[in-house]
């Protein structure tokens, strides 16, 4: 090849003239091109990572309701498994979870609805200091349960069985105790201010309004005076709190 180049002075001239450029190409341009190729690969990998992240977020958000339902199911499993146990058996935390209104992720301005606890069966359960404000405990069986210092403010306890239950120092402000069984219940230092109750004079229409058999008196411990405790008697429609009357 060298001999042929030497025979042609013009070709030899161009060959020598391009030698520096060839050297520059090998030393400078080729590394730059390699770098750009690696950079493009990194960009592609980064793009794929972003796509994977977006897909992961979509999957997480779309499974929000399913996860919530699974948590509710697990909470009820705990409650059911602990039936008739004298201890908590995890029921305190499970019940508080079901009655809570946690914020939804990622929709932080929205909340999950509290779950109904109607027909709950937890006799003899140890639920000291449990927090169940506004809980729906219609016809719940909490006989002989320990609810010392619990928070049941504005709870719905229509026809619930609270016989021999420890409600000492419990917050029952504005609770709905229509037709509730409170026989032999410990109500020492219990806050019953503006809690609602029924008696033999409560009208049949009111009892039936809330699916109670007639008559539907609240059953108190002997010698207990509900009026002295600051409770309100429901006799007629006009006595029913507006929110309940609208249901």
pLDDT in tens, 117-127: 999 999 999 99
Q: Which one is predicted more confidently, 3 or 204?
A: 204
- The answer to which of 47-61, 140-154, 187-201 has the lowest mean pLDDT is 47-61
Q: Which long-range contacts (CB under 8 A, 24 or more apart) does 204-213 make?
A: 205/237, 206/234, 206/235, 206/236, 206/237, 206/239, 206/240, 207/179, 209/237, 209/240, 210/158, 210/178, 210/179, 210/244, 211/158, 212/158, 212/159, 212/178, 212/179, 213/179
Q: Which one is predicted more confidently, 72 or 60?
A: 72
Span 132-184, pLDDT tens digits: 999 999 999 999 999 999 999 999 999 999 999 999 999 999 999 999 999 99
- Closest by alpha carbon to 159, among 89, 217, 201? 217
Q: Are 94 and 78 in contact (CB under 8 A)?
A: yes
- The answer to which of 8-12, 81-85, 209-213 has the lowest mean pLDDT is 8-12
Q: How far apart are CA 44 and CA 16, in angstroms?
A: 41
Percent of the residues in the chain that have a pLDDT greater than 70, as a whole number: 70
Backbone angles phi, psi at 219, to 5 degrees: -100, 115
List CB contacts of 84: < 8 A, sequence separation 6 or more.
Answer: 123, 124
Q: What's the pTM?
A: 0.72
Span 179-193, pLDDT tens digits: 999 999 999 999 999
Read off the pLDDT band of 239 (50, 70, 90).
confident
Mean pLDDT of the chain: 83
As assigned by CATH, the class of the 117-247 domain is mainly beta
């Amino acid at each position: 090849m060298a001999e042929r180049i030497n025979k042609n002075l013009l070709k030899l001239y161009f060959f020598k003239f391009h030698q520096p450029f060839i050297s520059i190409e090998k030393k400078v341009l080729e590394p730059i091109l390699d770098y750009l190729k690696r950079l493009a690969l990194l960009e592609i990998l980064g793009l794929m990572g972003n796509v994977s992240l977006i897909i992961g977020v979509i999957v997480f958000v779309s499974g929000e309701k399913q996860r919530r339902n699974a948590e509710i199911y697990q909470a009820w499993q705990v409650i059911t498994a602990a039936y008739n146990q004298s201890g908590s058996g995890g029921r305190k935390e499970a019940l508080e979870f079901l009655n809570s209104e946690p914020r939804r992720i990622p929709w932080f301005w929205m909340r999950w609805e509290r779950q109904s606890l109607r027909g709950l069966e937890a006799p003899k359960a140890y639920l000291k200091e449990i927090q169940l404000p506004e809980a729906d405990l219609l016809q719940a069986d909490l006989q002989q349960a320990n609810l010392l210092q619990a928070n049941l403010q504005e709870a719905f306890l229509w026809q619930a069985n609270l016989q021999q239950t420890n409600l000492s120092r419990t917050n029952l402000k504005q609770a709905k105790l229509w037709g509730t069984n409170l026989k032999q219940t410990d109500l020492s230092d219990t806050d019953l201010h503006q809690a609602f109750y029924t008696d033999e004079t409560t009208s049949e229409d009111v009892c039936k309004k809330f699916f109670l058999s007639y008559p539907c008196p609240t059953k108190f411990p002997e010698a207990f005076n509900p009026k002295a405790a600051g409770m309100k008697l429901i006799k007629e429609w006009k006595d029913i709190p507006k929110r309940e009357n609208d249901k």
